[in-house]
Amino acid sequence: MKILVLLAGVTDIRFPLHPISLNSQATIDEQGSPRRVLSPFDEAALEVALKLRDACATTQIDVLLLEGANSENLMRSVAAFRPDSLHCLELKPLQLWDARQTAAQIAGLIKRDYGGHELVLVGRELGDLDEGSIAVLLARKLGRSQFSMAQSGQWQGERLWLMRERGTCEEWLEVDQPLLASVTNDRRNKLRYALMKNVMQAKRMTFPHVAASAPVRAGLTLSQLQAAPVIPRHGQCRLLSGDVGQQAKALACWLKEQGVNP
């Protein structure tokens, strides 16, 4: 099986935030020396792929890492896990706040260069915008089903199954068609430590870049955004006391008083 892993990285909170501004083309300019690290969701997606390769030696792992701050160091850390290929992905234009645009760019590249990959793995908040919409839109652009909140994978013979938890239940899905899975972090997919010899080899590596472009979408640009007006609130606020059952009962009584019928 061929697996494509998409990684984005997030701001390293151990360092102060750097100045960010908009230029005349309504794209972001970053000053200083910003740093990125893999997010827990990036790490989880990569570890799921590595475990599947451990269990089936014919599994191929290809990785695309979004270009940005600290890309070279971040790619070296990924290269230490020895994926079959690793490319730095340049989005032209880079507008991560426009999820539709970003999904269209990445989907075009996947269709062109990675169409034979049966499984695409992404962290559930790809793009560092804390919303998870890029994965959903990317699946739609690719014409693939999406399996969200995946936590692990398992081979059963030649068949691959993905698992996620819902409450006290486990849900399993057989990957019997091209699929995109967004991965959440879990104790079972905590990223392993890379071997020291692989870390040293990665320090001497150089990495190819690939570009993903798409026509700029017409509509609102980032520079046109304005602060939302402050809307005054009216009326009284009531805090519900008691346990959950008592609060639910009090809320139901209030709704009935307002004329809401069950």
Digit-coded pLDDT (tens) for 53-85: 999 999 999 999 999 878 898 999 999 999 999
- Estimate the share of the chain in helix, then strand, then coil, as percent rounded to the nearest 5: 30, 25, 45
Please tell me the distance from the alpha carbon of residue 190 to that of residue 138, in angstroms, as a whole number.
25
pLDDT value, residue 18: 65
Residues 2-42: tens digit of each pLDDT: 999 999 988 777 776 667 676 666 566 666 666 788 999 99
pLDDT value, residue 180: 97
Q: Of 27-36, 135-144, 150-159, which range is least confident?
A: 27-36
Q: Of 37-51, 91-105, 151-165, which range is least confident?
A: 91-105
Indicate the class that CATH gives domain 2-221: alpha beta
Task: Let me know: does 143 contact 103? Beta carbons within 8 Å.
Answer: no
Residue 83's alpha-carbon distances to 12, 56, 80, 112, in angstroms, are: 23, 14, 8, 20
Give the mean pLDDT of 137-163. 95
Query: Helix, strand, or coil here: 161?
Result: strand
Give the mean pLDDT of 234-244. 83
Please tell me the distance from the alpha carbon of residue 167 to that of residue 174, in angstroms, as a whole number.
20
Average pLDDT for the chain: 88
Q: Is 202 exposed, middle or buried (0-12, 13-18, 19+ CB in 10 A)?
A: buried
